[in-house]
């Protein structure tokens, strides 16, 4: 959530940044926020004045009663009652105004970092790095949705039977590969200094608002209405919310957490060839890395997280590229995001497998996540990254590594799988 003080101090910078996102009527939205804040301040001042006057008069009542001036005391009592009623009304108006102001701030996305390129769609994203030779497969090569049937490692029909479309059942060597990737990704994060967490996979509404999934992505989250709980779309939500309403000491920073969780996304409105097989699922597995750090250290931390994800993909022997997302394609809460894509040879397309983002103070302001600086408190910066999301990594591995004898397993995973080839 944006800070009103920051909007006031840097209004033109905020407007310029939000316009990079293609936000409509941004000037009016910002003016409305500032007008509500002015109203909030005015109501608070009026209420404080009324309460102070009421308290001052209350002190006089006792003195008048002691000196026998009952009539004068009763008159002041009446004035005091009127002032208390006025302050009560002002307090109610103040509460309503603060709630409206908060809701208006919830509607505003984060201001993009100055390096974020202009643009509205994925076509406007900037390719900043690409490495690896794109595999050239024979004409007989198959996309992963055919390979998983041929090798009997994932069953979509069973998933439809017990749940619905987009909930695959991994089995045999397919299940072992998934477990192997999770363990490998976790071990690599531990080696990089991350502390492993095992959070709940359902969260309350406060957690959804804390990291910005609510109200922005409410329609994309699975909602257990009876208990008003949400299935998580990413481990970012419960992990970052561990630090909601927390003041961290400098010797506790940076916070570096890693977690494996299943993730759930409704993906409402998705259709077409891009959703076939493992390309887009309602439930999938992901290892997430999260950091909380100081404002001055956060972009160095972002580089470190980016390098960590890059090493994982290199070790999996997959061609990849890194994109800096444009303003219009960036997540609602992000200030700067790098996407990693791997090349899927049989589909002849790039598949997104990770986003690494710095949210600066946007989430921390919602979470009230701070540190102490010179007897005051300062908002911290939060960051996260997929390290990695499994389905599309698996899709690319299956397609790129298919041979007449079977599907080769990347060397780094063999100690985890116990086999180096998927065979029929």
Q: What CATH code is carried by the domain that includes residue 38? A: 1.10.287
Residues 164 and 238 in one domain: yes
Q: Are 322 and 290 contained in the same domain?
A: yes
Sequence-separated (6 or more) residues with CB below 8 Å from residue 371: 247, 248, 249, 250, 253, 294, 377, 378, 380
On whether both 102 and 10 belong to a single domain, the answer is: yes
Q: Give the span between the Cα atoms of 381 and 107, in whole angstroms.
A: 20
Give the separation between CA 264 and CA 284, rounded to whole angstroms.
7
* Number of domains into which the chain is organized: 2
Residue 252, in any domain of the structure:
yes
47 and 143 part of one domain: no
Query: What pTM, to 2 d.p., does this model score?
Result: 0.92
Query: Which of 106, 140, 160 represents a domain boundary (last residue)?
Result: 106
Domain hosting 382: range is: 122-422
Residues 168 and 101 in one domain: no
Distance between first and last Cα of the chain: 52
Same domain, 285 and 310: yes
Choose the final residue of a domain: 106, 139, 163. Answer: 106
Chain Cα centroid distance, residue 399: 30
Q: Residue 89: exposed, middle, or buried by beta-carbon count in 10 A (0-12, 13-18, 19+)?
A: middle
Residue 230 is assigned to a structural domain of this protein: yes
Distance from C-alpha of 244 to C-alpha of 238, rounded to nearest angstrom: 10
Count Cβ neighbours within 10 Å for each residue of 215-226 and write b for 16 or more, e otherwise: ebbeeebebeee
CA distance 84 to 177: 69
The domain boundary residue, chosen from 106, 132, 165: 106
> Is residue 272, in this structure, part of any structural domain at all?
yes
Q: Is residue 401 part of a domain?
A: yes
Asked, for residue 112, whether it belongs to a domain, the answer is no
Domain identity same for 84 and 230:
no
The SS3 call for residue 109 is coil
Give the Cα separation of 227 and 213 in Å (integer).
18
**Does the residue 129 lie in any domain?**
yes
Coil, strand or helix at 167:
coil
Task: Establish if 278 belongs to a structural domain.
Answer: yes
User: What CA–CA distances, in Å, run from 94 to 33, 87, 99, 100?
Assistant: 15, 10, 9, 10
Number of other residues whose CB lies within 10 A of the CB of residue 175 = 13
Same domain, 324 and 368: yes
Q: What CATH number is attached to the domain comprising 257?
A: 3.30.930.10
**Can you list the residues of the chain whose pLDDT is less than 50?**
none
Quick: pLDDT tens for 108-123.
Answer: 999 999 999 999 999 9
Judge contact between 281 and 168, C-beta under 8 A: yes
């Amino acid at each position: 959530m944006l800070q009103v003080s920051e909007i006031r101090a840097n209004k033109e910078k905020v407007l310029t940044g939000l316009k990079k996102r293609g936000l409509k009527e941004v000037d009016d939205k910002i003016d409305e926020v500032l007008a509500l804040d002015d109203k909030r301040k005015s109501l608070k001042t009026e209420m404080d004045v009324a309460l102070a006057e009421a308290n001052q008069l209350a002190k006089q009542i006792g003195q008048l009663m002691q000196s026998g001036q009952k009539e004068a005391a009763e008159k002041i009592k009446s004035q005091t009652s009127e002032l208390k009623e006025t302050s009560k009304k002002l307090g109610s108006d103040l509460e309503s105004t603060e709630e409206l102001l908060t809701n208006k701030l919830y509607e505003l996305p984060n201001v993009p970092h100055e390096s974020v390129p202009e643009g509205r769609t994925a076509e406007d994203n900037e390719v900043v790095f690409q490495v690896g030779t794109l595999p050239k497969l024979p004409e007989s090569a198959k996309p992963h949705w055919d390979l998983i049937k041929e090798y009997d490692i994932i069953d979509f029909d069973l998933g439809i039977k017990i749940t619905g479309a987009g909930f695959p059942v991994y089995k045999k060597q397919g299940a072992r590969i998934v477990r192997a990737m999770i363990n490998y990704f976790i071990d690599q994060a531990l080696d990089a200094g991350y502390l492993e967490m095992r959070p709940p996979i359902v969260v309350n509404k406060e957690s959804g608002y804390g990291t910005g999934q609510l109200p922005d992505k409410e329609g994309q989250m699975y909602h257990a209405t009876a208990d008003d709980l949400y299935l998580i779309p990413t481990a970012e939500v419960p992990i970052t919310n561990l630090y909601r309403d927390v003041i961290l000491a400098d010797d506790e920073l940076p916070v570096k957490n890693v977690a494996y969780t299943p993730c759930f996304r409704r993906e409402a409105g998705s259709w077409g060839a891009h959703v076939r097989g493992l390309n887009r699922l309602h439930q999938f597995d992901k290892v997430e890395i999260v950091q909380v750090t100081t404002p001055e250290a956060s972009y160095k931390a972002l580089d470190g997280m980016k390098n960590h994800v890059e090493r994982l993909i290199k070790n999996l022997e997959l061609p990849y590229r890194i994109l800096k997302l444009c303003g219009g394609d960036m997540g609602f809460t992000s200030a700067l995001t790098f996407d990693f894509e791997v090349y899927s040879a049989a589909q002849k397309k790039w598949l997104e497998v990770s986003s690494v983002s710095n949210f600066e103070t946007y989430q921390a302001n919602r979470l009230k996540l701070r540190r102490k600086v010179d007897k005051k408190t300062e908002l911290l910066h939060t960051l996260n990254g997929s390290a990695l999301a499994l389905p599309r990594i698996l899709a690319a591995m299956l397609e790129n590594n298919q041979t007449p004898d079977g599907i080769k397993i990347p060397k780094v995973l063999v100690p985890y799988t116990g086999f180096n080839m998927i065979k029929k």
